[in-house]
Amino acid sequence: MDSPATMLGPEVSVIVPVGERQADAVRLHAEYKASLDSLGRDYEIIYVLDGPRREYSDALHGLIERGERITVVSLTRQFGEATALMAGFEHSSGRVIVTLPAYHQIVGDGIGKLVAALGDCDIAVGRRWPRAGSVLERMRRGLFHRLLGWITGVRLNDLGCGARAFSRRVLEEIQLYGDQHRFLAVLAERQGFVVHEVDVAQSKDDRFTGLYGPRDYARGLLDIFTVFFLVRFTKKPLRFFGMVGLTIFGIGSLLVVWLIAEKLLLGQGLAGRPALLLSTLLVVLGLQLFALGLLGELIIFTHARAIKDYQIERVIQFSRPSSQDRAVR
């Protein structure tokens, strides 16, 4: 921040994380640029290359040579889209952040809709609508999002859409990693940001023609599992580990009691009962799970001051005669 030009900076920063799935850089850039120009705001475009992507990098440098104003951030290896987003964010300076996929997912003029929606919310996420796809596909999607809404209490309809617009504060407060970019809206909502879903037209090139394999279903389930923990138990580990641990411990102890009762009442020697092995195993495992929960609580407790579970939006106090907001944030 040395010259006035960089201090002012652009108003909108567009971050495009380039991962496995990518479209022709030149065509995509032209499309995004056309719709960004029509916004009538000062903007910058940051491409984040997630891992070595030689061809894409060459294409981008070609664009730079032709005089396009873009920033290219390259990561040493593939870290995942969320990390790429954070890296791009660190190099951005706009008050409004727009993320766009590196392939044709939405029609360009959706960007304007997203940015305009920021007027009365903190984060606007795209929802591809109307959307192509078979009945089965629609059902799968509906089920996934309903399950997610039930678990997190945030009902969204298209987590897979990479087009989002949000104010800078969102990423300043939320640290993303791994695959969490898909849950940015969910996590933001949990932090108290206002989230809106905006219908954007789906690009013709986004048609998915294949069938989803078991791997995609497994991935969806894993996603739900991740969010479940992020949202429910990151601050209360014992509520989870304790529940599971005590259940296992309870089953094990019931078995032990039953075996001992049989020995005392029926005289059946414990030495000949393989069930004894099973029951001790359950008791010990249950206790260990509980102990893990305690360890988790210890982590939370010793870091409680660093991980606040609230965000103050602002502090308002008026000094005596003047009517000035002494805003902290």
Partner 1 sequence: MTESSPQPELSVIVPFYNEEDNIVRMHAAIIGALEPLGTSFEMVFVDDGSRDRTLERAIDLARSDSRVRVVKFRRNYGQTPAMAAGIEQAHGKVLVTMDGDLQNDPADIGHFLAKIEEGNDIVVGWRHNRQDKLVSRKIPSRIANWLIGRVTGVPIKDNGCSLKAYRAALIKQIPLYSEMHRFIPAMASIAGPRIAEIKVRHHARQFGKSKYGLSRIYKVLLDLMVIKTVASFTSRPLLWFTLLALPLLLLGLFAIGYSLAGWLEAPGPLPLPIAGSGVILFVGGLIMVCSGVLGELIYKLGDLREHQFARLTQKVRSADRG
84 contact partners, CB below 8 Å, separation of at least 6 = 17, 18, 19, 48, 50, 75
CB of 165 to partner 1, least distance (A): 18
Query: Residue 11 or residue 297: which is nearer to partner 1 going by CB?
Result: 297
Nearer to partner 1, 115 or 282 (CB): 282
Q: How far is the CB of 164 from partner 1 (least distance, A)?
A: 19
Three-state DSSP state, 54: helix
Which tokens hold the place of 53? 């992507």
Residue 136 or 291: which CB sits closer to partner 1? 291
Q: Distance (Å, rounded) from C-alpha 170 to C-alpha 68? A: 28
In the block, which residue shows the tokens 């032709």? 66
Q: 274-307 burial by CB neighbour count: b if 16+ within 10 A, else e?
A: eebeebeebbeebeebbebbeebbeebeeeeeee
CB nearer to partner 1: pick between 217 and 258: 258
Nearest-approach distance from CB 234 to partner 1, in angstroms: 11
Residues of this chain that interact with partner 1 (CB under 8 A) are: 191-193, 235-236, 238-239, 242, 270-277, 280-281, 284-285, 287-288, 291-292, 294-295, 297-320, 323, 326, 328
As a whole number of angstroms, the distance between CA 198 and CA 113 comes to 7
Name the one residue in this structure whose structure tokens are 């982590």.
Answer: 299
Lay out the sheet containing 123-128: strands in order across: 70-74, 43-49, 12-18, 96-99, 164-167, 123-128, 195-200
Cβ 303 to partner 1, closest distance in Å?
6
Mode of pairing for the β-strands spanning 164-167 and 70-74: unpaired
Q: Based on CB atoms, which residue is closest to partner 1, 213 or 272?
A: 272
Collapsing DSSP to helix, strand or coil, 56 comes out as: helix
Tokens of 103: 């392939």
Output 131 or 263, the one with its CB closest to partner 1: 263
Taking the complex as a whole, the smallest distance from the CB of residue 243 to partner 1 amounts, in Å, to 9
- Nearest distance in Å: CB 155, partner 1: 16
